[in-house]
Amino acid sequence: MPDSIPTDSVGLVTPQVYKFDEPLTLRSGKVLPEYELVVETYGKLNSKKTNAVLICHALSGDHHAAGYHSENDSKPGWWDSCIGPGKAIDTNLFFVVSLNNLGGCAGSTGPASINPVTNKYYGPDFPVVTVRDWVSSQLRLMDRMEIPEWAAVVGGSLGGMQVLRWTISNPDKVRHAVCIAAAPKLSAQNIAFNEVARHSITSDRDFHEGRYLEKGTYPKRGLMLARMVGHITYLSDSAMRAKFGKSVSNFKQDTAENFGRDLRSGKLSFGFDVDFQVESYLHYQGERFSENFDANTYLLMTKALDYFDPTVDFEGDLSKAFANSDCKFLLMSFSTDWRFPPERSREIVSDLLKAGREVSYLEIEADQGHDAFLLPIPRYVKALSGYLQRVHQENKSDAP
């Protein structure tokens, strides 16, 4: 943590665990007899219970979206730039709910949890869950928390897909849907990258058919490689050029001139070790991730992405899926995002328009690629803030 808690931080937060005993029938047909969800909340639920905002996390996210768990934390939650008093998702106005999704590895029941039936790790026996299943579990959480409807459901990337699913499955529970850097479904290229990630995990000799925890190990190399590949798809070419093209200023002012080819030790090794900064960065990112993330969860999350297709019940027509989604929508995309590029968001916008829905859409100029949705890009944050201020105003004017 910084020396003192910033005034616009939610401060120290403690996650809560909600236990659910009622079996959850999943999209696959399998049944999860019981499960736990770990949840953080920021701000206060108002007396009319009209100011709750749900945050849906992306592939590697969790419930810890804002603030600090302890004074020793070096970094705040993953979306601290947008959640806090006075921030875009203003905790002075909203009661913000953030959970770790089912199948996650940050405290909610998932492959790394103990299966109460066998008293062993679930491992590969944990059922594949889908975006729809997550929304079902979030709906139960909502009931448990006695929240009648969400003022807004907000998410980026895979989180944005949960937002869309909310508006399709439970339109009466959502007043505003904020869907950032998402896609209506994955493309073949998206699935291909996910398969490379999965294959690198499952082909690691420490994977043990997914039962690595029982053996006291984990597929570190596979997980590292999966993250390295993933990370490349989150960044843009221009972001990488800027990030790894700093030392060139010795020669020229324009940092893009060396294409981001900063060397790690100042000279080429003429061997097969790491020469360039970008390589050592990917190794570092992969390593750090592999130490903190469960491999089976990574497999499961990427499958949830691949399977997401809200049109399956609607003859392949997304506009029909939105037929009853009478909330208001805000969509945003980022110019250099090549994982879920602006075209993918525009597809969603077109189908929302076709369904006669009320929608706003912004295409944010940003160099940072897909990662931009996690970063404090001024226009993006201002738009989110402006939109949610209106949500708050509506709340006030609706009050009897």
Partner 1 sequence: MRPDLEIIQQWIQPNSKVLDLGCGDGGLLHYLQMTKNVHGIGLEIDEMNIQHCLDRGTNVIEQNLDEGLSNFQSRSFDTVLLAQTLQALSKPDHLIDEMLRIGKNGIVTFPNFGNWKSRLYLAIRGRMPVSKFIPHSWYNTPNIHFCTVKDFDALCIERNIRVLARTVVDLEHQGSWYMKAWPNLLGEIAIYHISKDTD
- Residue 398 is a binding residue for partner 1 (CB under 8 A): no
Least Å distance, CB 196 to partner 1, is: 33
Helix (H, G, I), strand (E, B) or coil at 45: coil
- Residue 386 is a binding residue for partner 1 (CB under 8 A): yes
Helix then strand count (H, E) for the chain reads: 10, 14
Print the binding letters for residues 150-169 with partner 1: x by CB under 8 A, - otherwise: --------------------
Integer Cα distance of 340 and 182 in angstroms: 6
CB nearer to partner 1: give 353 or 375: 353
Task: Extract the tokens encoding 144.
Answer: 């448990």
Integer Cα distance of 226 and 220 in angstroms: 10
Out of 108, 113, 137, 157, the active site residue is: 157
Nearest to 160 by CA among 139, 176, 175, 181: 181
Q: Residues touching partner 1: how many (CB under 8 A)?
A: 23
Task: Extract the tokens encoding 133.
Answer: 């299943």
Integer Cα distance of 341 and 305 in angstroms: 16
Q: Which of residues 253-312 bind partner 1 (CB under 8 A)?
A: none
Nearest to 37 by CA among 143, 124, 125, 120: 143
- Residue 390 is a binding residue for partner 1 (CB under 8 A): yes
The correct pick among 187, 360, 398, 399 for binding partner 1 (CB under 8 A) is: 360
The correct pick among 34, 273, 313, 358 for binding partner 1 (CB under 8 A) is: 358
The correct pick among 379, 396, 398, 399 for binding partner 1 (CB under 8 A) is: 379
Print the binding letters for residues 314-353 with partner 1: x by CB under 8 A, - otherwise: --------------x-x---------------x--xx--x
The correct pick among 363, 375, 381, 395 for binding partner 1 (CB under 8 A) is: 363
CB nearer to partner 1: give 213 or 332: 332
Least Å distance, CB 362 to partner 1, is: 5
Nearest to 305 by CA among 143, 128, 147: 128
Out of 337, 351, 367, 371, the active site residue is: 337
Q: Which listed range, 46-54, 229-237, 282-290, 388-396, lies at the site for partner 1 (CB under 8 A)? A: 388-396
Nearest to 141 by CA among 162, 111, 116: 162
Least Å distance, CB 237 to partner 1, is: 23
Q: For residue 8, indicate whether it is catalytic.
A: no
The correct pick among 32, 359, 372, 374 for binding partner 1 (CB under 8 A) is: 359
CB nearer to partner 1: give 96 or 330: 330
Print the binding letters for residues 100-119 with partner 1: x by CB under 8 A, - otherwise: --------------------
Q: For residue 28, indicate whether it is catalytic.
A: no
Least Å distance, CB 360 to partner 1, is: 5
Q: For residue 337, indicate whether it is catalytic.
A: yes
What is the number of alpha carbons within 13 Å of residue 12 lying toward its C-beta? 5
Pairing of strands 176-180, 35-42: unpaired
DSSP state of 211: T
Pairing of strands 114-115, 31-32: unpaired
Integer Cα distance of 167 and 380 in angstroms: 22
Integer Cα distance of 226 and 290 in angstroms: 9
Nearest to 151 by CA among 4, 330, 400: 330
Binding site for partner 1 (CB under 8 A): 328, 330, 346, 349-350, 353-354, 356, 358-363, 379, 382-383, 386-387, 389-390, 393-394
So which residues are the catalytic ones? 157, 337, 370
